[in-house]
Amino acid sequence: MVLLKLWRWYQNCLSVHPVKTQIISSGLIWGIGDIAAQAVTHSTALKNKSVSISKEDQELRIKWKRVATTSLFGMAFVGPVGHFWLRLQYQPKSMRFVATKVALDGIIFGPVDLLVFFSYMGFASGKNVNQVKEDVKRDFIPALLVEGGIWPIVQVANFRFVPVRYQLLYVNLFCLLDSCFLSWLEQQQDAVWKKQWFKCLFEVKQHKNQEG
């Protein structure tokens, strides 16, 4: 009953103030996603420590400044940009149109979203231009490859079956997981698995060049 009332309230807000509603809901969801990311990072760190851990270190301490920073990204970029981007479809939802929309989303919006996210998070944390460039080089490709295998499936269902006015909400619900992943990835910095990832990519590229 409460959820139904909340949904009707959201529908009313979406009808009266569509852009404002999308901006606020995006900010809230991305903020929640970052809290989840911090919880995942904290849990992973505890498992990786072989030495005894004090009770103080075992407690999860939410970095609210980081939550606010991530939430602001959702409000300032995902909300308004996603609202107008997803409304760029006035044709019938044929499979050809859906395929085109998914392709454009993966080629244009996806990479731009990742680039803006990592750049924004870097500058917001006080890093300089060179540091942000290094962060983008380190994080962009792994994130793009992982998301490239997931988001097309999500967006096919979105563009085919979800009404336009609810598409950003649908996307943002998946962004709850996505923001968790991106925030976690951005915090990993020079983790060992990343070095192994890039070493593997370099070896594959070098092998192809030798064959060519």
DSSP 136-157: HHHHHHHHHHHHHTTHHHHHHH
Whole-prediction pTM: 0.75
**61 within 8 A of 35, measured Cβ to Cβ:** no
- 41-79 residue pLDDT tens: 787 777 766 545 566 667 888 999 989 999 999 999 999
Q: Which tokens sit at 148?
A: 């490239």
3-state percent helix, strand, coil for the chain, nearest multiple of 5: 85, 0, 15
**Interval 150-171: pLDDT, tens:** 888 988 888 888 888 888 888 8
User: What are the residue ranges of helices labelled H in 74-191?
Assistant: 79-86, 95-104, 110-124, 129-148, 151-161, 164-188
- The rounded distance, in Å, linking the Cα atoms of 170 and 113 is 17
Q: Where do the structural domains in the chain lie, given as residue ranges?
A: 2-211
